[in-house]
Amino acid sequence: MIADIENTAHAVDAAAVMRLLPARPRLLALGEPTHGEDTLLRLRNELFRQLVEQEGYRTVAIESDCIGGLVVDDHVTSGTGTLDHVMEHGFGHGWGAFAANRELVRWMRAYNDGRPPSEQVRFAGFDGPLEMTGAASPRGALTALHGYLAERIDARLLPCTARTLDRLLGADDRWTDPAAMTDPARSVGRSAEAGQLRLLADDLVALLDAHAPHLAAVSAREEWDRARLYGRTATGLLRYHHWAADPSPARMTRLCALRDLMMARNLCALAERGPVLVHAHNSHLQREKSSMRMWQGPVEWWSAGALVSARLGDAYAFVPTALGTLRHRGVDTPAPDTLEGLLYALPEDHCVVDAARLATVLGDRRPAHRLSPWFGYAPFDPAHLADSDGLLFVKDVAQG
């Protein structure tokens, strides 16, 4: 059995990943089972570098704030801002503090230096401006969208003035109150002002769509793409805040689903401009429903990967990551009857596994689903093996 499993494993490089796929996918997603581990992030960096240089991928998208990501993109394409400023202001979830993410940005800037825009590699965050402690104010996206339209179409068509938006938005801390994450009564999302803003945002996006031929003609491609991003983000945030005020038991299920819906829409928009490399947690990229236990109990929702796969079909590919040990988090050698345990017996420190072939080798012998002693690590579900386009296995994740 071990010899048969070993035949499904290959050295980690771009060529090994591409051999698993019938053709180059427009969206190639690499998942991780835990966040912030230097070993996994550096492996991502090397694999993405090879895929950019050898396979022509031209966008790197990570699970980070889509609006903040514009700061990073400006830096890697044109050198705008210092690296320190970019790492502090261009990332969500605190990802800017990780050395491997800093190395990624530095490499992208060096790669682009001296290249024409058509050959440059772009950066994007594809998550909404959302944190575990709450959601951002819609101010930035909504006012940017209004400003874009005000400069390019008849002012009489606008549903409101910038001053009206400012009045309805009020103080930003009304929107960002962290207490609203666990107490729907603290959310401003169902106030009269928020209701008016949802209608106005919808009207502004409708104007963007209705005048698309003119707007695309009078705007640089970058301006047009960003206006559409502002529209998706403004409506997505207002929708998220509305349901954050929901007192029903379905509240967290809906919020998780809305977050992944924002992710999926951003990924589909990025795919329109060329091939994209994606990095996020496995649970956001898998084709199956995702699930998590929260203070309100278990929740499940369709992941961004499932939504994108339903829309793009074979143009979407997903390679999750599984790991053996994470000893500094209390995750020791996996039991031999788990998928991680079977792969841990291989001699390689890390490898790319042909998931479909491994599923055939295992046949009816489904490995046990590993249990994690640490909440921050989600073991790979062996039931999903046949639905993955490959599997990246890392034997030991060292403390960074």
pLDDT digits (tens, 9 = 90+) for 103-159: 999 999 999 999 999 999 999 999 999 988 889 999 999 999 999 999 999 999 999
- Percent of the chain topping pLDDT 90: 94
Q: What's the average model confidence in pLDDT over 152-176?
A: 97
Residue 17 has pLDDT above 80, yes or no: yes
pLDDT tier, 298 (very low <50, low <70, confident <90, very high otherwise): confident
Task: Give me the pLDDT at residue 132, please.
Answer: 81
Task: Give me the pLDDT at residue 293, please.
Answer: 79
- Percent of the chain topping pLDDT 70: 100
* Nearest one of 287, 236, 298, 283 to 261, comparing CA atoms: 236
Q: Rounded to an integer, what distance in angstroms lies between the CA atom of residue 83 and that of residue 105?
A: 8
Task: Give me the pLDDT at residue 64, please.
Answer: 98
Task: Give me the pLDDT at residue 172, please.
Answer: 96
Of 76-90, 244-258, 285-299, 365-379, the one with minimum mean pLDDT is 285-299
393 or 3, higher pLDDT: 393
Q: Helical H runs in 293-381?
A: 304-312, 339-344, 355-362
Q: What's the average model confidence in pLDDT over 221-234?
A: 97
Q: What's the average model confidence in pLDDT over 72-84?
A: 98
Task: Give me the pLDDT at residue 294, please.
Answer: 74
Task: Give me the pLDDT at residue 85, please.
Answer: 98
Tell me the two tokens of residue 376.
């921050």
41-65: b or e for each residue (b if 16 or more CB lie within 10 Å)?
Answer: bebbbebbbbbbeeeebebbbbbbb
Residue recorded with tokens 């590919």: 317
Task: Give me the pLDDT at residue 80, please.
Answer: 97
